């Protein structure tokens, strides 16, 4: 009897918590953004969320999941299960990661492609790195990047980016809003390069970040 009462109390408490949480949600999609870094990408998307005045209950940004692509995918799937079990699942889940130097990159892409439920999980990848997306805010470039001895392809992009942002730091909390005037150009460049890459069958360089930004813009 005591065990049954405890079970009913816990269930009632869980239902009350769910009602409070769903009451705070606004009338647009609930999405999850999981990033590979604890600084650059989470700060960027948190800044974007704030800029578009999106509710933190509707848009959850996480960067506390490890640095390799498969860690991001596994964390995202776990968070989806947690919210689904609580009765308030994410409608879309975005995994943000780079190709540069990551051995689990292709595994992460294939895992997301096969993930269920369908049309929930999306890979927001950049080749070689996230900073390539930032670089497109300043110029159009489809020059491929190749790792050199002591100088990764990602570091090469950052060096190039510093020609435009000399004091660029990965910990910047306002990088999205700082570059807002160049956002439309960057989105157009990124999409054009993706379409060109399909024709020549390459992914170097490329980025899908503009697709997630478009999602955030369209949420409300």
pTM score: 0.89
In a domain, residue 37? The reply is yes
Could you tell me which residues are beta bridge partners of residue 60?
32
CA distances from 218 to 7, 136, 161, 211, 214 (A): 41, 22, 28, 11, 6
Angle (CA) 198-70-210 rounded to 5° is 40
CATH code, 111: 3.40.50
Tens place of pLDDT per residue across the chain (220 aa):
444 554 444 444 444 445 555 558 899 999 999 998 778 999 999 999 999 999 999 999 999 998 899 999 999 999 999 999 999 999 999 999 999 888 999 999 999 999 999 999 999 999 999 999 999 999 999 999 999 999 999 999 999 999 999 999 888 899 999 999 999 999 999 999 999 999 999 999 999 999 999 999 999 8
- Can you tell me the distance from the alpha carbon of 148 to that of 141, in angstroms, rounded to the nearest whole number? 19
In a domain, residue 13? The reply is no
pLDDT of residue 220: 86
Check residue 97 and report its DSSP letter: E
In a domain, residue 116? The reply is yes
CA distances from 195 to 29, 106, 130, 156 (A): 28, 20, 19, 24
User: Domain of 95?
Assistant: 26-218
Q: How many CB atoms lie within 10 A of CB 168?
A: 16
Could you tell me which residues are beta bridge partners of residue 32?
60, 93
Total domains in the fold of the chain: 1
In a domain, residue 68? The reply is yes
């Amino acid at each position: 009897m005591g065990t049954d009462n405890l079970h009913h109390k816990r269930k009632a408490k869980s239902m009350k918590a769910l009602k409070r949480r769903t009451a705070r949600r606004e009338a647009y999609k609930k999405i999850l953004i999981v990033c590979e870094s604890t600084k650059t990408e989470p700060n960027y998307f948190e800044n974007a969320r704030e800029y578009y005045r999106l509710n933190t209950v509707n848009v959850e940004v996480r960067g506390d999941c490890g640095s390799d692509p498969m860690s991001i995918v596994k964390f995202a799937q776990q968070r989806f299960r947690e919210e689904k079990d609580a009765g308030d699942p994410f409608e879309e889940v975005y995994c943000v990661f780079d190709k540069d130097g990551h051995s689990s990159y292709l595994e992460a892409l294939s895992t997301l492609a096969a993930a269920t439920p369908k049309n929930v999980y999306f890979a927001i990848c950049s080749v070689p790195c996230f900073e390539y997306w930032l670089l497109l805010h300043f110029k159009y470039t489809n020059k491929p990047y190749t790792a050199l001895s002591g100088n990764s392809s990602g570091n090469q992009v950052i060096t190039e980016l510093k020609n435009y942002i000399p004091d660029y730091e990965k910990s910047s909390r306002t990088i999205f809003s700082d570059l807002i005037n160049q956002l439309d150009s960057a989105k157009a460049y990124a999409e054009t390069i993706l379409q060109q890459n399909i024709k020549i069958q390459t992914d170097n360089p490329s980025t899908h970040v503009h697709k997630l930004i478009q999602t955030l813009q369209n949420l409300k």
